[in-house]
Every structure is written in C-alpha cells, then in structure tokens.
Amino acid sequence: MSIIVCVEQRYGIGKNGKIPWNIPTDMKYFRKVTIGSGHNVVIMGRKTWESLSKRPLQGRINIILSKNSDLEDHLQSFDNVHHVRSKLDCLNMISAMVGVEDVFVIGGAEVFNEFDENCDKLF
C-alpha cells in the first residue's frame, strides 16, 4: 500500500477543501501511477471525495471512508465505488477483493495520518 501526495514547500496539501494549485503534469503523473495496469484501488476520505465533485476516479476501484451512511445511496449509482465506515472495514474489503495489484491512499490529511502506518511507499 502506497501514499501518493502532492505537497508545497511548507508541506501544505490543501486549502478550503481543495488543492490550491493546478499542475497538469502532476495530474497526469497521478493518473498514470494510480491507474497502473488497471487493477488498482484508491482510498480517500469523504472530504477529498467531495473535492473531486463527488465523481469517481475512472479506471480505479474507489473506496470512500465516511462514518455517515447517507453517502451509501449516492455512491450506489456508480460502478467501482465503495463506501466503508472504518479503516478496518476498508482493509477487510481490500483483502476480500480478487486481482487487486496496487493500493493507493490518495488523501486527504486525516486519511494520510491514519493509513501512514500501513504504507511502505510514498509517491
């Protein structure tokens, strides 16, 4: 399991619920790495999901962490998107998946802090 994060000079990663810069080459790199050969999982917190305008990242299995079960109805309309209510549920879900190659923790800050101990690679 890896962390992939984009940081500024003082290690800031976001502002007002968004990433306060737009670097197309970074986004291309993020896409290329996280899609890989097309059998990868991305894990994100509910606030990061909202920052993506509540649209899944294509070509990847998206897992969204939230204690709020209301999210479930909204997520059901998408393929390849799952809601989990805890880190343990998230890890169990991934263990039960067949054919997963790489798992990327894509943020935000709260989720990075929680999954840091499970990750052995940083992009």
Ligand X SMILES: NC(=O)c1ccc[n+]([C@@H]2O[C@H](COP(=O)([O-])OP(=O)(O)OC[C@H]3O[C@@H](n4cnc5c(N)ncnc54)[C@H](OP(=O)(O)O)[C@@H]3O)[C@@H](O)[C@H]2O)c1
Q: Which residues bind ligand X (CB under 6 A)?
A: 5-6, 13-14, 17-19, 44-48, 51, 65-68, 85-87, 106-111, 114
Please report how close the Cβ of residue 99 comes to ligand X at its closest, in angstroms.
25
Q: Nearest residue to ligand X, using CB? A: 108
Contacts of 121 (CB under 8 A, 6+ apart): 1, 2, 3
In angstroms and rounded to an integer, the radius of gyration of the C-alpha atoms of the chain is: 14
Please report how close the Cβ of residue 81 comes to ligand X at its closest, in angstroms.
15
- Report the residue number, 3 or 61, with the smaller CB distance to ligand X: 3
- Report the residue number, 72 or 99, with the smaller CB distance to ligand X: 72
* Residue 93 burial (10 A CB sphere; 0-12, 13-18, 19+): middle
Gap between the terminal Cα atoms of the chain: 11
